[in-house]
Structure 1
């Protein structure tokens, strides 16, 4: 197929949608609030300012650095049970980059500056990797990446709330989002061994991504699984050598405790957060880092049951010809986040490269407008603060979980792609 014969992509449609999405939420809502004398709504302005100044908070970095300090001062005491350091919820291999920076002789201020700069670069790289993915997908059908598509992807990336939020608070999720974007690209390119290493790398920070290793096993992607397990084995061997065997084994207790305690703040976009907010159990609009929702058995068991259903639906869904495809992998990635009792807004940054894949694989070729895909992106990519006005309204405050709903809608759309068969038109998304 020549470039002239290639089907036309709807690149201008994408650019118009991105501009409308960003303006309607961050300008339109502000205008409505002022017309109604409602004050000023919360938006991404503060996060954008942080990004523009390459400045961020220390949400992940503070507990990680303090844990290293404690280990240095008390090398023979259990690291995870140190008083005041119970916010370290990552596996110990996640500390390796900070150990390396300190071995270079950098002080804490310099370390935090390096992390801020690297996080800032990671945000840009998410957009660039998504563009590389788009270019590869379009080239397979003889099309080129247009200036409109480039502008749309980069604008969407720099205005994507979960990604900006993760950067602004100084969370390791920014690097995980970049890693997941690289995973989507690598899997789409057929680089299975590289993909396996990337999956294992994600698991070294967020253990819920171990579901991706399970997915690799069930899909019989043996080369990817082997490379991932080998990389994980190397990382944990080094971790045992640095921190000791018992400190690494203690992480099992950390995981067990996390399954019973979580927060009901609106930023927790999960079933656990949704149910607790619906019954007004715990915090909602206000946030305190060490305040957890009082334990309610039925909420805990409902959360567990929902998580099992979501995981099983992704693992055992009849994908047909798309079994083991990027769509299949992407759905498992989203479920790895959504099924967790603690799924903060910035954790959903991983859906950005998934949207890029869906659009440039299917959406850009459709003559019919992909309204459901647009709705999913709108819910996942924006801070819709007006929904927080419903925090004290029974039943309706479920709308505070709009990002969670948008992510599950995206999973549904990915699954609907399984209706595609070679030689038939792409399904409407």
Structure 2
């Protein structure tokens, strides 16, 4: 293989990180004010929320109210209560909150969740740096201060993560869990990774595709630890909430596949097609307003989901089969294949980008322009695209830049697998 010196990646990454951060968070603001366009939407509010360790209750309110309802009406079905926003998570995801109440911390629940979410954001950075160190050491390199600084700058501008934190969404914990998972997988701790996959699946059922992936990759140790841990969680959940409440979630999943929203933050094929055809909301957002049922859009969404899932499971990865890159691609596709893939759901991308860069991108002779583009599209909030293109026929497809950026990253990982298998120069 044709590689550069191990230290050649430092300045290249740092210049990219600083340039991307300043362009999006300072450059766009300057252009708006120069042209008297007002102030663009940016991450300022999300950063303020993070600095002050405060957040909204996007996930927490439905989850906590579900526990309240169950306590007051133990014989009534939890998922059909009409007291609050719909609970869309499996009941095992409520067990940590049950524990908080059992040890007497109920009055401080929201504050504890805010602090833990804040720590999870830092965890994404920490585990990604640990992953970077593993990949650099694999080829005799080391993690320099310049690289640490560059990763920290990109993390500070990583929109999906901080948007999820500001909303108070459970995706913040999933982003951290996945970063830990990818680090564990890269260093060979597959059983620990299996436990993390089970925990992620208890919150977002689409990650069950990772269970299928482990079976197809014959990762039996990881699969066993995943199934055992999931079995324990389900047993506790069945004992505490009852079988009927847990089984009701099957109907909830079926209903979720038929309703989604077209708001620009829904970075999926469903959202893209509805925005392109001007069905449903785009710039405004109302939590209980769903897009009208358009049969061809539903069928196209299902077909796309099946194709993306099949691509992740059956692509011939060659020498990288079962690698952290293979796992990262499957995880991204698990998110992208959903009809409701909010921006903050793509927080898992950060660790995949870290692996792609430090395992391969930093070492190749050619500058990894496509990898840089994928990172730019998936990390940043490009609000002018939404503001100026939402009403433009054809052009508003660009509002799905995060979705397409994530798919571009998957394409690059698959191209990398082919190059590595054939012994060709790496291109990213």
The alignment's TM-score, normalised by the length of structure 2, stands at 0.97
Instruction: Supply the distance in 1 between the matched residues of 2:250 and 2:425 (Cα, whole angstroms).
Output: 44
Q: Which residue of 1 aligns with 2:209?
A: 211
Q: Which residue of 2 aligns with 1:281?
A: 279
Instruction: Indicate conservation of the 8 Å contact 2:312/2:333, yes or no.
Output: yes
Instruction: Supply the distance in 1 between the matched residues of 2:35 and 2:234 (Cα, whole angstroms).
Output: 56
Instruction: Indicate conservation of the 8 Å contact 2:420/2:426, yes or no.
Output: no
1:107 Cα deviation from its structure 2 partner: 3.4
Task: Please show how residues 333-372 of structure 1 align to structure 2 within 5 Å.
Answer: 333-372=331-370
Instruction: Indicate conservation of the 8 Å contact 1:54/1:116, yes or no.
Output: yes
Q: Which residue of 1 aligns with 2:77?
A: 78
Instruction: Supply the distance in 2 between the matched residues of 1:128 and 1:343 (Cα, whole angstroms).
Output: 25
Gaps of 5+ in 2: none
What is the alpha-carbon root mean square deviation over aligned residues?
1.3
Task: Please show how residues 165-176 of structure 1 align to structure 2 within 5 Å.
Answer: 165-176=163-174
1:425 Cα deviation from its structure 2 partner: 5.9
Q: Select 2:262's aligned residue among 261, 264, 267.
A: 264
Instruction: Supply the distance in 2 between the matched residues of 1:54 and 1:381 (Cα, whole angstroms).
Output: 21
Instruction: Supply the distance in 2 between the matched residues of 1:382 and 1:264 (Cα, whole angstroms).
Output: 20
Structure 1 residues 251-295: Cα deviation after superposition (integer angstroms, max 9, x where no partner): 000000000000000000000000011111111111111111111
Q: Which residue of 1 aligns with 2:408?
A: 409
1:367 Cα deviation from its structure 2 partner: 2.6
Q: Which residue of 1 aligns with 2:68?
A: 69
Task: Please show how residues 279-428 of structure 1 align to structure 2 within 5 Å.
Answer: 279-388=277-386, 389-421=388-420, 424=423, 426-428=425-427
Instruction: Indicate conservation of the 8 Å contact 2:5/2:363, yes or no.
Output: no
Structure 2 residue matching 1:80: 3-state secondary structure: helix
The alignment's TM-score, normalised by the length of structure 1, stands at 0.97
1:144 Cα deviation from its structure 2 partner: 1.2
- C-alpha spacing 1:271/1:421, structure 2 compared with 1 (3 Å): closer
1:159 Cα deviation from its structure 2 partner: 1.5
Instruction: Supply the distance in 2 between the matched residues of 1:197 and 1:12 (Cα, whole angstroms).
Output: 37
Instruction: Supply the distance in 2 between the matched residues of 1:87 and 1:158 (Cα, whole angstroms).
Output: 32
Gaps of 5+ in 1: none
- C-alpha spacing 1:257/1:357, structure 2 compared with 1 (3 Å): same
Instruction: Supply the distance in 2 between the matched residues of 1:287 and 1:316 (Cα, whole angstroms).
Output: 37
Q: Which residue of 1 aligns with 2:29?
A: 30
Q: Does 1:55 align with 2:54?
A: yes
Instruction: Supply the distance in 2 between the matched residues of 1:396 and 1:423 (Cα, whole angstroms).
Output: 38
Instruction: Indicate conservation of the 8 Å contact 1:94/1:205, yes or no.
Output: yes
Instruction: Supply the distance in 1 between the matched residues of 2:264 and 2:273 (Cα, whole angstroms).
Output: 11
